[in-house]
Amino acid sequence: MHAKRIIPCLDIKDGQTVKGINFLQLKNVGDPVEMAEFYSNEGADELVFLDISATLEGRKTFAGLVEKIAERINIPFTVGGGISSLDDAETLLKAGADKISINSAAVADPSLIKRLGERFGSQFVVVAIDAKYINGTWTVTTHGGSRNTNRELFSWAAETERLGAGEILFTSMDHDGTEGGYACDVYKKLSGILSIPVIASGGAGKISDIADVLSRNKGNADAALAASIFHYGKIRIPHLKRELGKAGIPVRTTL
């Protein structure tokens, strides 16, 4: 069995790391360059950086920030937010990103997934999906969860794989920032219908939440992404990995 990955997430707004609940009530939690270096040294397997404001001016600022971070870490990282063209992706790749994450732009123009995969390789393309459970259906949302679409989570995830996505990063907007646990049943179903890796995001509050979403019998996700519990020091990555190992979940060990 492949080792499961632990991925801290840095949501960036105006050059600072922020965190909220359900993408609202955002608070500054630290300098992204310093936090990235800390997580790299702490034993994170990867990092995800999301420019949640993603204005045109912010895109240029964020590319510079990506470059600064790339100089300070030695683990892969994924960059997302406001990417809507091959040129946007290339800018971030040249700045030092290992992968890019697309969300709203992929929903608006699914062919972007195919074009990015053909240009840079599918391993470079992470499709992020934000969804809410509305009237018995997991409804895909865009623009940070503020706009509902007519797409359904599972059919959209399968379509992105057919188009060439290398990974899926699914965030339950209902669980994000609540620290009440992941939507494990959803990840279990996603992992059953997809052959590409699934990253779980939204809801981590304690070690058992991460163990559950990574467990083959429960969530069966390939990686767990979290923010608040790491940013506020509730869980340290070396301790988390030791506990996951004890629970029989394969992880890359830290020094």
SS3 readout for the chain: CCCEEEEEEEEEECCEEEEEECCEEEEEEECHHHHHHHHHHHCCCCEEEEECCCCHHHHHHHHHHHHHHHCCCCCCEEEECCCCCHHHHHHHHHHCCCEEEECHHHHHCCHHHHHHHHHHCHHHEEEEEEEEEECCEEEEEECCCCEEEEEEHHHHHHHHHHHCCCEEEEEECCCCCCCCCCCHHHHHHHHHHCCCCEEEECCCCCHHHHHHHHCCCCCCCCEEEECHHHHCCCCCHHHHHHHHHHCCCCECCCC
pLDDT in tens, the chain (255 residues): 689 999 999 988 777 776 554 444 455 667 899 999 999 999 999 999 988 766 455 566 688 899 999 999 999 999 998 899 999 999 999 999 999 999 989 999 999 999 999 999 999 999 999 999 999 999 999 887 889 999 999 999 999 999 999 999 999 988 876 678 999 999 999 999 999 999 999 889 999 999 999 999 999 999 999 988 998 889 999 999 999 999 999 999 865
Torsion-angle region of 220 (φ positive above 0: left; ψ -120 to 50: alpha; else: beta): left
Say which of 11, 45, 176, 212 is annotated catalytic.
Answer: 11
Residue 103 φ/ψ, nearest 5 degrees: -140, -85
- In this structure, are residues 100 and 126 in contact, taking their beta carbons and an 8 Å threshold? yes
Respond yes or no: is residue 31 known to be catalytic: no
Residue 158 φ/ψ, nearest 5 degrees: -65, -40
What distances in angstroms separate CA 61 from CA 52, 95, 109, 123, 167, one per listed residue?
A: 13, 11, 25, 25, 26
CA 170/CA 187 separation, integer angstroms:
8
The angle formed by the CA atoms of residues 3, 158 and 248, to the nearest 5 degrees, is: 20
Q: Rounded to two decimals, what is the model's pTM?
A: 0.92
The pLDDT of residue 145 is 80
The pLDDT of residue 143 is 81
The pLDDT of residue 144 is 76
Respond yes or no: is residue 45 known to be catalytic: no
> Could you give the domains of the chain?
5-246 (3.20.20.70)
Say which of 45, 51, 130, 212 is annotated catalytic.
Answer: 130
Greatest Cα pair distance, the chain, in angstroms, is 47
- In this structure, are residues 99 and 126 in contact, taking their beta carbons and an 8 Å threshold? yes
